């Protein structure tokens, strides 16, 4: 009896995570790429590897592999995932709570975790995704996807709750949340001089971490809508 048969799981069926799950880059469960908090929806996709299941998270269309043992923590969804439909006014009304989430996350002992989207340890885009999701606003998963999803704005137009993107001229590699008065909050890796969530500045560059990121600025972006997932392939 195969993994799917033993777990009574069906291809294309939508399931709800009974607890937080890790998703990996390969069928061999190598390289954490994201996490799914309890209550998130996913569906099965592709053929399973040895001891693993290929899945796609419904809220952000993010693919990955979970341990076959984690299949025991999936339950069939009562109904398909229904993405929230929010306009800019609805999003703007929730931004203070998004900011509050990041401050609470920073106050909790944490370290930078590549692929982390479930506290206490986050990567940069995982913190952004979790903060917005805490108030019902869905973002794509990775920083470059979040950059493409937001409306470009000028540096002089920044308002609290906007996103700031960093990287190279070719591609964004990092994202932060603007707080106002030149400050932003983000989860930063040890290679940039910190290991976890902290505050940096666009105006006071006396701190070497702020100065390093300032030199990597790409653009700022504004979240205008909540992410709408693509229709699953039949």
DSSP string, 8-75: T--TT-EEEESS-EEEESSTT--SEEEEE-TT-EEEE-S---TTEEEEEETTTTEEEEEEGGGGGGEE
User: For all residues of the chain together, what is the average pLDDT?
Assistant: 94
55 and 63 Cβ atoms separated by less than 8 Å = yes
Confidence of residue 50 (pLDDT cuts 50, 70, 90): confident
Rg (CA), the chain: 18
For 59-89, the pLDDT digits (tens) are 999 999 999 999 999 999 999 999 999 999 9
Q: Look up the pTM and report it.
A: 0.95
Q: Could you tell me which residue, 47 or 167, shows the higher pLDDT?
A: 167
For 10-47, the pLDDT digits (tens) are 777 899 999 999 999 999 999 999 999 999 999 998 66
Q: Give residues with Cβ within 8 angstroms of 146, minimum separation 6.
A: 125, 128, 129, 139, 140, 163, 165, 175, 221
In this prediction, residue 233 carries a pLDDT of: 62
Confidence of residue 9 (pLDDT cuts 50, 70, 90): confident
Mean pLDDT of 94-122: 98
Residues paired with residue 23 on neighbouring β-strands, in sequence order: 34
Q: For the sheet containing 74-76, what is the strand order?
A: 32-36, 21-24, 62-67, 52-57, 41-44, 14-17, 74-76
């Amino acid at each position: 009896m195969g993994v799917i048969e033993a777990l009574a799981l069906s291809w294309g069926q939508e399931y709800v995570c009974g607890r937080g799950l890790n998703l990996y880059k390969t069928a061999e469960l190598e390289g954490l790429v994201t996490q799914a908090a309890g209550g998130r929806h996913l569906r099965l996709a592709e053929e399973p590897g040895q001891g693993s299941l290929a899945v796609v998270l419904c809220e952000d269309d993010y693919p990955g592999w979970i341990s076959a043992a984690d299949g025991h923590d999936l339950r069939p969804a009562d109904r398909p995932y229904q993405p929230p439909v929010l306009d800019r006014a609805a999003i703007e009304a929730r931004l203070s709570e998004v900011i509050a989430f990041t401050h609470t996350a920073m106050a909790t002992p944490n370290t930078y975790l590549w692929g982390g989207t479930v506290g206490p340890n986050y990567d940069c885009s995982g913190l952004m995704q979790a903060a917005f999701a805490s108030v019902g606003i869905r973002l794509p998963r990775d920083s470059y996807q979040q950059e493409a999803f937001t409306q470009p704005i000028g540096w002089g137009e920044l308002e609290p709750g906007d996103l700031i993107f960093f990287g190279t001229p070719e591609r964004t590699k990092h994202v932060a949340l603007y707080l106002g008065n030149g400050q932003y909050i983000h989860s930063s890796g040890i290679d940039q001089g910190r290991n976890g969530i902290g505050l940096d500045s666009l105006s006071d560059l006396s701190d070497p971490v702020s100065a390093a990121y300032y030199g990597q600025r790409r653009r700022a972006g504004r979240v205008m809508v909540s992410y709408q997932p693509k229709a699953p392939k039949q």
